[in-house]
Amino acid sequence: MPDIFFYPTEIGKIGIGAQGNAITALYLPNQVPPSHMVVHETQVLKEAGRQLQSYMNRELKNFTLPLAPAGTVFMQRVWDKLLSIPYGETRSYQGIAQDIGSPKACRAVGQANNRNPIPIFIPCHRVIGSNGKLVGYGGGLNIKIHLLQLEAGS
């Protein structure tokens, strides 16, 4: 059974899920975790909560957590690319598609971004439309805006 623990943040209560010694999920305030998860704070969850709070306090720019997101090979390629987007910067869906060698896969990149099971730790909030507009975010655009502003220092 996967473990979950909830941490209060400035954007609301965030649930972080783990299986074994790896983070497998993050639930934003408007998302409901599956009922089969066991509320239990393991060492890896405690560390994830500490790093999340440090990030929210602008004290941490790079997470050093063992991540194990479940997804297709294509999704894994997209999520790996998201991990390379530097703190405070953004990339477009089109740019990500080109970077992973699938320049015509903008929509598929968007779907992989949408299915990212570990937002914030895998920074899908840093992906925007090629026209510079903020588009969809699983936690809501208000949270995406908040995270981008937090990273911009405003």
The residues assigned a catalytic role are 124
Calpha distance 134→52 (Å, rounded): 23
Q: Based on C-alpha coordinates, what's the Rg of the chain?
A: 15
CA 14 to centroid of chain Cα atoms: 12
**Do 5 and 40 touch, CB atoms closer than 8 A?**
yes
Q: Please count the residues of the chain.
A: 154
Cβ(64)–Cβ(76) below 8 Å: no
Please report, in angstroms and rounded to a whole number, the separation of the first and last CA atoms in the chain: 40
Please tell me the distance from the alpha carbon of residue 55 to that of residue 120, in angstroms, as a whole number.
9
Structure tokens, 117:
């099971």
